[in-house]
Structure 1
Amino acid sequence: MSDAAERSRTREFFAARAAGWDARFPDDGPRYAEAIAELGLGAGQFVLDAGCGTGRALPLLRAAVGPDGTVLGVDLTPEMIDRARAHRAHAALLVADCTRLPLPDAAVDLVFGAGLISHLPGPGTGLRELARVTRPGGRLALYHPVGRAALAARHGRRITADDLRAEPNLRPLLAACGWQLTGYTDTDDRYLAVAVRAEAREVRAEHGL
């Protein structure tokens, strides 16, 4: 499937579910709060919520960076952004493709991506774009309120060896896109992979350039 077709399918999938999305997962709030608290965001930082959906993380991210910080929620699906407008006091909102962000280089301190990586076309293109907009030493947090096994069971599936979110698959993919994986948790009640934006020279050294 082409990247354009994959984007269209993702948009259609979430557009049809936007109105009832929060009601489907009413108990996720405390898990989001716990994960974001552990990221240790500082006052005044710039956080990008990539694939923000209905904006469940936005109030938590705003509280973490304070009134002097910047929180930007980006999603490919207009219907999801419409639902997120209830949180507009907490963040700027933008309908945009995470593979082509209207942001300058090295602007972001943290990219928060809940359920994001499975929906990035490529997905290397998206991870490289997220690296572009993140400052060296900034971080990427790939999150889900349940782990891989629990999520697969929810959908009546089993985990397969080619699961992109598995640590042996994720680590080299991130490295090739300018990230260094520094933390990895995959339990029934959490998936959280944290990576640091590498300096350009570190990326070249990693690949023998």
Structure 2
Amino acid sequence: MSDDHTDVREFFTARAADWDTRFPDDGPAYEAAVARMRLRAGDRVLDAGCGTGRALPALRAAVGGSGLVVGADLTPAMLEAAVRAGRGGAGRLLLADVTGLPLRAESLDAVFAAGLVAHLPNPAENLRELARVVRPGGTLALFHPIGRAALAARQGRRITPGDLRAEGNLGPLLAGSGWDMTSYVDEDDRFLALAVRRG
């Protein structure tokens, strides 16, 4: 892992211990987002930037015992929090940088990513890396348990025209990275953009 991610790692290390208690009601939103991915038993799925592993139980339930669930995160403290929360059994936890994954090309059926886009150092290149590890026709879910406006208000800022998660910015960004956006929802109680890996 390169040193350009030091700030991201420090940000999440400082917040890992109480992350789940700060956002205790997000579980159903994660489950609903995973359900929209239409995963099947036996599918292979990556939770990219898995944090404390909040999506892992829902992903495991969706792919069943025959499926593969991998949670990758850059921050050791977040993975440790996932284990403490009892989520380590839902998937394989991997200390890895999602900008350069130690996974074979086209080895996955889907990628779930909660709150990831804002932390990517080079979004177009990094989304291409996610496309690399997903088979053609596979799914990408970019998720956040609250929408852009609600998140901006929580953080005491305003949404800017350059916000990567704006529909008009995200669609072309995904298209240039090997994905076709198939649906986009930005409401107070959830943000979910789904895309399909081009062949």
Normalising by structure 1, we get a TM-score of 0.92
CA distance in 2, matches of 1:182, 1:98: 23
Q: Find the counterpart in structure 1 of residue 196 from structure 2.
A: 196
Counterpart selection for 2:68 from 67, 70, 94: 70
Aligned partner of 2:130 in structure 1 is 130
User: Does 2:16 correspond to 1:37?
Assistant: no
Deviations 1:52-101 (A, max 9, x none): 00001101100000000000000000110111122111100001000110
What stretches of structure 1 of length at least 5 have no aligned partner? 200-209
RMSD (CA atoms): 1.2
Q: Deviations over 1:110-150 (max 9, x none)?
A: 10000011111111221010000000000110000000000
**Partner residue, 1:203:** none
Cα distance in 1 for residues equivalent to 2:99 and 2:140: 15
Q: Match for 1:80: what amino acid?
A: M
Q: Which residue of 2 aligns with 1:142?
A: 142
Give the Cα separation in 1 of the matches to 2:133 and 2:124.
Answer: 15
Amino acid aligned to 1:12: E
CA contact (8 A) 2:47 2:56 kept: yes
Structure 1 segments (4+ residues) deviating >4 Å: 3-6
Residues 1:176 and 2:176 aligned together:
yes
Percent of aligned pairs with the same amino acid: 62
Q: Deviations over 1:8-40 (max 9, x none)?
A: 100000001100000000010111111111221
SS of equivalent residue, structure 1 residue 140? strand
Gaps of 5+ in 2: none
Q: Return the match for 2:44 from 38, 46, 59.
A: 46
Which range moved further: 140-149 or 33-42? 33-42
Tell me how many residue pairs correspond in the alignment.
197
Relative to structure 2, which stretch is displaced further, 67-76 or 3-12?
Answer: 3-12
Max radius of gyration: which structure?
Answer: 1
* Matching residue's letter, 1:117: V
1:178-209 Cα deviation digits (max 9, x unpaired):
0111110000001000010001xxxxxxxxxx
Counterpart of 2:116 in structure 1 is: 116
Q: Does 1:16 align with 2:23?
A: no
